[in-house]
A and B are shown apart, each in its own frame.
Chain A
């Protein structure tokens, strides 16, 4: 069993917020993670990472020192920092079968969050419903997120170009009325 990288601390059907197990060790922007539940395993994509003080009344202040110096001289301040990451739900596994739509129940609080394996990446990205889920989510920087995800996923496919074309066609269909936005995203896919 792979080790978990975070724990769910806030959950709803479309999104959940996790606290990273280690400070600054959140999964990459635009990577797939999963939450193992009783009945199913919910899959989502990381779209935002924040590191803040765990005590809202004590804001971090600038010390003018490097991180290493600070860790030596004032190690306690790192104990007060927490890294959180936000995940957008794109699908779930049930009976080892991936479904590219929202799960019937949200993930439970305190469930552990894990990175998806290479095999899962391939399987999940095969179902291109995630594009429409992201575009309609209304979360921050959706365009960047879509582009990052396509870049990541195409690595797991034998014919990356063909995969990019396929996803691009779906994107074009969804953004039929907004050609400029389509082009902005596509330009970020292949640099």
Chain B
């Protein structure tokens, strides 16, 4: 694509008249273009493609056969492709230096061209698996687009997209990148058992038939750095997935706040909430849950009378909490405190995946909330200690949660620990990686705190609006977002990338494994060959 700037402003972007030999079909929304100004080079995104003419009468001309010459003269020059570009970054032309945000626009008739691989490398850096991690390539290009991992983990980030658009693969890529680079330690709440051990992937072989194949989980790629905890050992065994530890929760670990999070699932009303708080106050925060659950009918009646509680409310609460009590991982006593163990691993720089097996949503939400709350408290304590002593700084922690809207909905956002982390935990070295398909379900205050957003295709307008809340130039990004394919394409914007960019997600395949795994197979092969050679040499000597 080539063209020239015809008009523009800093607020609405610039417009480009395509050179006559190119048609609008040569340009796609989201493509990456470079404008060569006089002093600066501008890196921009195509945000709109239009057909325009110098005279409206030409547009309605159907150009009969006898008008062939007229068509040749008019089309391309008087009826032309008009491309809207959004300049995002600029860099000095003279010296190859840092790119910075645009504060001016290129002069009239500056030439515009499609970005080359060098331009992409200039803007996004070259992959080194330490700071710059390749997530894919720009559409119709081969040069890698890298995210800045330290920046990605510095603030909360989110991976969004409707079901089946490749969220999970993007998350896998991001997690593998963070693990490889050691930019942070991961704590992954793996609701659907997709990140720890093997998972299946559906792949179109090209003839429309979906083929199932298996992809490696984090534990297989980084066996020495990843620890898997499971809440459902049976499911793990059935799936043939390896795990290191089993998690159980003790009744004493359940607080009224934890149950409150499950308000909608358990259908709790405000009376139940008050009753819980009363019980917790009277029986003690560690005992109320166990005592209430095991209370017999007579006992309850006496207790209600004795403490002036409403018997009906107490009975209803017990009935409703039965579902929590019956969760398979709820135990009266537990052999070890899972949180302590997880903290030990995290402190040692190990990445922790918590698998939920066939645990239902209720269990997922409760465990995630309880564990995160404890880990949060522990992190705050350690960070404060570090601030006092300047020793033993806890490693940066990224907590990945799926179905994020369940924890961060506007109704719950005030009460759950995740909203607190999203808002202020950057100071305490903890950030979130939200994975969700329903951005509109997430509290807008939390959404605005998300530094880096990686968005696959979203159809629902309210989801798109929620995603683009507070984003500069949302109107143009909306066009790009709607134009994404439903497979292997994503828009990355925010803190970890210098400018928004549409990528074709890189393949999560053998080539990726080879690049990322901690074992260097080539080295291994070499060592093995040497060993074999030595052995044979020895034989000859004998």
Tell me the A residues contacting B by CB distance below 8 Å.
164-165, 168-169, 171-172, 176-177, 179-180, 182-183, 186-187, 189-190
Contact = CB atoms under 8 A, between A and B. Distances in A.
Contacts of A171: 73
A interface, by DSSP: helix, strand, loop or mixed? helix
A125 B485 CA distance: 52
The 8 closest A-B pairs by CB, nearest first: A168-B73, A179-B57, A190-B69, A186-B70, A179-B55, A186-B69, A183-B70, A169-B73
A183 B74 CA distance: 10
A177 B77 CA distance: 15
Given A165-B72, A169-B73, A172-B74, A186 B57 contact: no
A179 B77 CA distance: 14
B488 to A, nearest CB: 43
Contacts of A176: 54-55
Interface string B62-77: 0000111110111001
A133 to B, nearest CB: 20
Nearest to A169: B73
B69 A164 contact: yes
Given A176-B54, A176-B55, A177-B55, A182 B69 contact: no
B73 A172 contact: yes
B486 interface: no
Interface of B: 54-55, 57-58, 61, 66-70, 72-74, 77-78
Contacts of B72: 165, 168
Contacts of B69: 164-165, 168, 186, 189-190
Given A164-B69, A168-B73, 18 more contacts: A165-B72, A169-B73, A171-B73, A172-B77, A172-B78, A176-B55, A179-B57, A179-B58, A179-B61, A180-B57, A182-B70, A183-B61, A183-B70, A186-B69, A187-B67, A187-B70, A189-B69, A190-B69
Contacts, number: 37
Contacts of A186: 67, 69-70, 73
14 contacts: A164-B69, A165-B72, A168-B70, A172-B74, A176-B55, A177-B55, A179-B55, A179-B57, A179-B61, A182-B70, A186-B73, A187-B66, A187-B67, A190-B69
Contacts of B58: 179
Nearest to A189: B69
A176 B57 CA distance: 10
User: Which of B57, B70, B72, B77 has its CB near the most chain A CB atoms (within 10 A)?
Assistant: B70
Given A169-B77, A172-B73, A183 B55 contact: no
A19 B218 CA distance: 98
B64 to A, nearest CB: 10
Contacts of A190: 68-69
B511 to A, nearest CB: 49
A164 B70 CA distance: 10
B54 A183 contact: no
Given A176-B54, A176-B55, A177-B55, A183 B77 contact: no
Nearest to A183: B70
